[in-house]
Amino acid sequence: MLIYKNSMRKLFALLLLASSNLVLAQVNIGLPTLELKAGIYRIQAELADTPKAREVGLMNRTSMPTNSGMLFVFEQKAGHCFWMNNTKIPLSIAFIADDGKIVNIEEMQAETTNNHCPKAAVRYALEMNKQWFSERVIVPGSVITGLPKK
């Protein structure tokens, strides 16, 4: 009977761990989307505008379509920094001022804890696949349109 109980405890612990990882991986599935534009390029952006959606971001995803990304919207302008812990795909992040101008762009490696911060206080940050911005010659000063107003 003791062996059975220990086996059941181990099985329960494994199921709990697996389900918690699955929930974490799916927290941001089904977020609302909006269309943004960067010059001639259209971006289908998932909207991370709640604390939980921003916390999870693109963690645990293994791919993202080419012209898709995630727009982080904060209530207040600040030096909102990002890291890549539990993020499986390398990303580029553009920090965006209220007028839509890109303040700075950072390249971020997957599974790292380095901070990537804006050079000025911002309310918006747009994550895309790594080098998406540079491959399209979208640089600081370029304008992103379609940002939500808060």
Q: What pLDDT shows up at residue 150?
A: 67
Q: Is the pLDDT of residue 40 over 50?
A: yes
Phi and psi, residue 54, nearest 5°: -70, -40
Task: Name the H helices within 2-149.
Answer: 2-26, 51-56, 132-135
Percentage, residues of the chain above pLDDT 70: 81
Segment 107-137, tens digit of pLDDT: 999 999 999 999 999 999 999 999 999 999 9
Tell me how far CA of residue 68 lies from CA of 16, 63, 71, 110, 125, in angstroms. Answer: 32, 10, 10, 17, 14
